[in-house]
Amino acid sequence: MRIRADHVVWDWNGTLFADNDAVLSAVNRVCADFGHAAITLEHWRDVFSRPIKDCYERMFGRPLTAADWARIDTVYHAEYRALMDGCGLAVGVPDHLATLRHTQSLLSMWFHDELVPLVARFGLGELFSRVDGLKAAGDGGSKAEHLAEHLDALDLRPRDVVLIGDVADDAEAARHVGAQVVLVATGTSSRKVLERTGAPVADSIPEALTHLA
């Protein structure tokens, strides 16, 4: 069954932006800081969930205090920012996006003031009618509230929208607002985790776009 939509909302990290190496290095820097053994990307993709604090608590096997979480946030982002400039775009970006007849926008849980210049550096700004990132401190929780605000700002009906992202939370956010969703098994969640959502799952951006009518 093909998905009929007028507008595509893209996720950034792990979807359009291929940053798995930076993510894993940042997670393992946190693990080292907390005396936990290094993990593989496969392990992280199987355990990742939102809220991210709960994910680390399961991995470390203990509750995290506010001070612990502040430390994780600092260590993770310092390592990630040191490596993100070495990351590139996913296969099919921007060529396949440029051929879409749909209108497109970008909604990310990365920090807005860093996201906008990064998107511009890759020459993608003209593809999107709106770019929104995280505008408050913290990990942003679920994407659902952010997606609702994003669609309101664009004056779009959720039923006319498909969200394309790389984690189970993208599927939950889309369903929360009444939008459609396609997931790509290229980022932070494994195909096994994504398939549990019941959403269509693709192995690349080009394959994800084959689900659109």
pTM for this one?
Answer: 0.94
Tell me the average pLDDT across 48-58: 90
Secondary structure element (H or E) that encloses residue 131, with its range: strand 131-134
Secondary structure element (H or E) that encloses residue 127, with its range: none
pLDDT at residue 126 is higher than 90 = yes
> Which runs of consecutive H residues, i.e. helices, occur in the chain?
20-33, 41-47, 52-60, 66-83, 95-98, 112-121, 144-154, 168-177, 191-195, 205-209
Beta bridge partners of 104: 8
- pLDDT value of residue 147: 97
